[in-house]
Amino acid sequence: MDNSAVPEACPGVESANAGKGSACAGCPNQQLCASGEAAKPDPAIQQIRQRLEGVKHKFLVLSGKGGVGKSTFSAQLAFALAGLDHQVGLLDIDICGPSQPKMMGVEGEQVTQSSLGWQPVYPLDNLGVISIGFLLSNTAEAVIWRGPKKNGMIKQFLKDVYWGDGLDYLVVDCPPGTSDEHLSVTSYLSASKVDGAVIVTTPQEMSLLDVRKEINFCRKVGVPVLGVVENMSGFVCAKCGTETLIFHPSSGGAEKMCQEMDVPFLGRIPLDKELMECCEKGTPYLAGIHSHEDEGELAEQIQNEGVCRKAMRSVVQGMVDGLGAA
Amino acid sequence: MDNSAVPEACPGVESANAGKGSACAGCPNQQLCASGEAAKPDPAIQQIRQRLEGVKHKFLVLSGKGGVGKSTFSAQLAFALAGLDHQVGLLDIDICGPSQPKMMGVEGEQVTQSSLGWQPVYPLDNLGVISIGFLLSNTAEAVIWRGPKKNGMIKQFLKDVYWGDGLDYLVVDCPPGTSDEHLSVTSYLSASKVDGAVIVTTPQEMSLLDVRKEINFCRKVGVPVLGVVENMSGFVCAKCGTETLIFHPSSGGAEKMCQEMDVPFLGRIPLDKELMECCEKGTPYLAGIHSHEDEGELAEQIQNEGVCRKAMRSVVQGMVDGLGAA
């Protein structure tokens, strides 16, 4: 099915008039529609359902605007879930700007093929990552692809990656916006049970403006909104302790917007230089990743965490609790 | 021409084999290619050239990653150029996340039609703005469009907007990435002289990674890189004056990358709460916008500007100087 040149007055593939209306003349799908083939769902949707049958929880990480920390949050959430001894998969479907190879500290690694499917790259034993970044010959290479090629890649990732015997969590890191990648991933996953979407934002109205669009997108395509995370929620000067709301919540911030839009608010994560450094280095931000370290020592580390790490931990815990047993 | 279902082994529209190769079977463009029509350039390219004939300088504002301040920079650059008494147009081609109606303080305004074409919205007498944001019935409405519909909208903006008798500068604010919108805008403008592209980034390697992709994209499509602006270059605490490099330049920042990639470095703009507030309120950040205010007073205002405003002013001046006479 080729949706790029569908006429404005398309009668719809399920209409009795499909392929036969006057608007259908010249449409590339005319024959397909007239034959009734177009009304049949893409067989990949069932193949994807089978492929992901062993995955207990699947959710999307979305944002309206770019650069609000969506990939940072996805990466650290994946590390944190793995630190809680879960089996975790992280799928990066940002085709033109893949961040996860670097954020997970596995830049330069390669995806391999086996008889079971494509093998993710494993930064930890219980954490696999897939990204188009692993398929490029060099990191500066631009992926200059229009929508349909991006959609094909996403379909292949969902259909052909072998995530092991089963996963507790599959985290799908999406690009910003409400376009090809988002329509494709939600349509391809329509037969696989998706828990929902987490939306990341900054406190600015400029970002919340796009979050409202994203929430309306989720409602239109039938993906539940698990909640909204407010990132870059203020900056505390390490020298004098003064907090500055650099990204100013001029309209009351994410919590107020969540009330207005009737979606859960998952919490606030302040701007933290150390979090940025972890992303640049591809290392976990929260302690507890090496699950075999001394338990007393780990408890002490967690006890002594600063306000930003505590905030991140609370958001992760809230999500895990919200999703139910893994 | 419908590029969505083109086979991998497409012989190319200009090949003698176009529409006749074995790979062409089933391609929606087979007939178009076999007839030779597909090799003819899109007539819109010449219509756009004519429409923009009176525009002295046209340039794109790009970024690799989202959220680095591309729209903020575009908005404040447009205000600043207008403040220098130029005729300025600002075209927002971020179809799924339009920021300019709010950033220019003209949210809720409408684009009107006249016999000369679509009329931009004018936040100032000498500054017109076009954005899909003006066409939506409410600001929370999601534009859930795949590539071809986005491309159609961009073509219409370029072809049908009447920018007045002539413009000194047309600033095109693009979405992040290297996909549909970027291919379309550069192809539609291929017969109109484009000065080049300004690329905005943060100091982080995570953002520079995508800037390298964007520079390679510009090289592939033949758009000169006018230079790179490093935004969010550090934060100075207003209370104690300590500077924190929140977005850490782990690989040496944009200046070093510019040397490596052999493109001009346009300067650094630090994180500034006031700049963010101007964007949220849709007001100009630099003084001098009201060109009829007292000259001595204006000179004094400029003299007393803080480090962030001075940095922004220097970047704008560098760009104007680089582009030559308006």
pLDDT tens-digit profile of B15-27? 777 777 777 777 7
Which token pair is B258?
């510019």
- Asked whether residue A13 falls in the same domain as residue A142, the answer is no
Distance CA B201, CA A93 (A): 22
Q: Chain-wide mean pLDDT for chain B? A: 91
- Asked whether residue B74 falls in the same domain as residue B22, the answer is no
For position B12, what pLDDT does the model report?
67
Distance CA A157, CA B173 (A): 32
Q: Which residue has the higher pLDDT, A63 or B303?
A: A63
Q: Which residues of chain B does A2 touch, with a Cβ-Cβ cutoff of 8 Å?
A: 2, 4-5, 28
For position A123, what pLDDT does the model report?
97
Render the burial of A226-261: b for 16+ CB within 10 Å, e for the rest: bbbbbbbbbbbbeeeeeebbbbbbbbebbbebbeeb
Indicate yes or no: pTM above 0.80. yes
Residue of B nearest to A271 (CA): B246
- Its ipTM equals 0.87
- The three-state secondary structure class of A6 is coil
A33-52 average pLDDT score? 87
- Asked whether residue B22 falls in the same domain as residue B74, the answer is no
pLDDT tens-digit profile of A119-155? 999 999 999 999 999 999 999 999 999 999 999 999 9
- Per-residue DSSP letters for A280-291? HHT--SSS--ST
Q: Among B62, B210, B214, B283, which would you mutate to test the A interface (most chain A Cβ atoms within 10 Å of its Cβ)? A: B210
Q: Tell me what percent of chain B is helix, strand and coil, each rounded to the nearest 5.
A: 40, 20, 40
Q: Which residues of chain B does A247 touch, with a Cβ-Cβ cutoff of 8 Å?
A: 276
Within 8 A by CB and 6+ apart from B39, the residues are B13, B14, B18, B33
Q: Which residue has the higher pLDDT, A263 or A21?
A: A263
Q: How many helices and strands, by DSSP H and E, does chain B display? A: 11, 11
- Asked whether residue A34 falls in the same domain as residue A81, the answer is no
- Asked if B237 lies within 8 A of A247 by C-beta distance, the reply is no
Name the residue facing A146 among B147, B216, B235 (closest C-beta): B147
Domain assignment of residue A21, given as a range? 1-40
Strand partners, B312: none
pLDDT tens-digit profile of B198-226? 999 999 999 999 999 999 999 999 999 99
- Asked if B66 lies within 8 A of A64 by C-beta distance, the reply is no
pLDDT tens-digit profile of B79-125? 999 999 999 999 999 999 999 999 999 999 999 999 999 999 999 99
For position B231, what pLDDT does the model report?
97
- The three-state secondary structure class of A130 is strand
- Asked whether residue A185 falls in the same domain as residue A321, the answer is yes
- Asked whether residue A14 falls in the same domain as residue A162, the answer is no
CATH number of residue A253's parent domain: 3.40.50.300
Render the burial of B250-276: b for 16+ CB within 10 Å, e for the rest: bbebbbebbeebebebbbbbbbbbebb
- Asked whether residue B172 falls in the same domain as residue B122, the answer is yes
Cβ neighbours, 10 Å, residue A75: 30
- Asked if B67 lies within 8 A of A68 by C-beta distance, the reply is yes
Count of domains for chain A: 2
Name the residue facing B273 among A248, A273, A281 (closest C-beta): A248
Residues A155, A44 contacting (CB under 8 angstroms): yes
The model's confidence at residue A78, banded by pLDDT at 50, 70 and 90, is very high
Kindly state the percentage of chain A with pLDDT values over 90: 78
- Asked whether residue B140 falls in the same domain as residue B2, the answer is no
- Asked whether residue B89 falls in the same domain as residue B231, the answer is yes
pLDDT tens-digit profile of B155-204? 999 999 999 999 999 999 999 999 999 999 999 999 999 999 999 999 99
For position A99, what pLDDT does the model report?
96
- Asked whether residue B19 falls in the same domain as residue B106, the answer is no
- Asked whether residue B321 falls in the same domain as residue B178, the answer is yes
The model's confidence at residue A30, banded by pLDDT at 50, 70 and 90, is confident
- Asked if B102 lies within 8 A of A4 by C-beta distance, the reply is no
Task: Return the axis-axis angle of helices B180-188 and B43-51, rounded to nearest 10°.
Answer: 70
The model's confidence at residue A4, banded by pLDDT at 50, 70 and 90, is very low
Determine phi and psi for A246, rounding to 5 degrees.
Answer: -60, -50
A89-112 average pLDDT score? 96
- Per-residue DSSP letters for B204-271? SHHHHHHHHHHHHHHHHHT--EEEEEEEEEEEE-TTT--EE-SS--TT-HHHHHHHHHT--EEEEEEE
Return the closest-CA partner of residue B4 out of B142, B151, B132. Answer: B151
- Asked if B97 lies within 8 A of A242 by C-beta distance, the reply is no
Return the closest-CA partner of residue A228 out of A95, A151, A319. Answer: A319
- Asked whether residue B163 falls in the same domain as residue B311, the answer is yes
Contacts A–B by Cβ distance under 8 A? 219
Distance CA A203, CA A230 (A): 6
The model's confidence at residue A32, banded by pLDDT at 50, 70 and 90, is confident
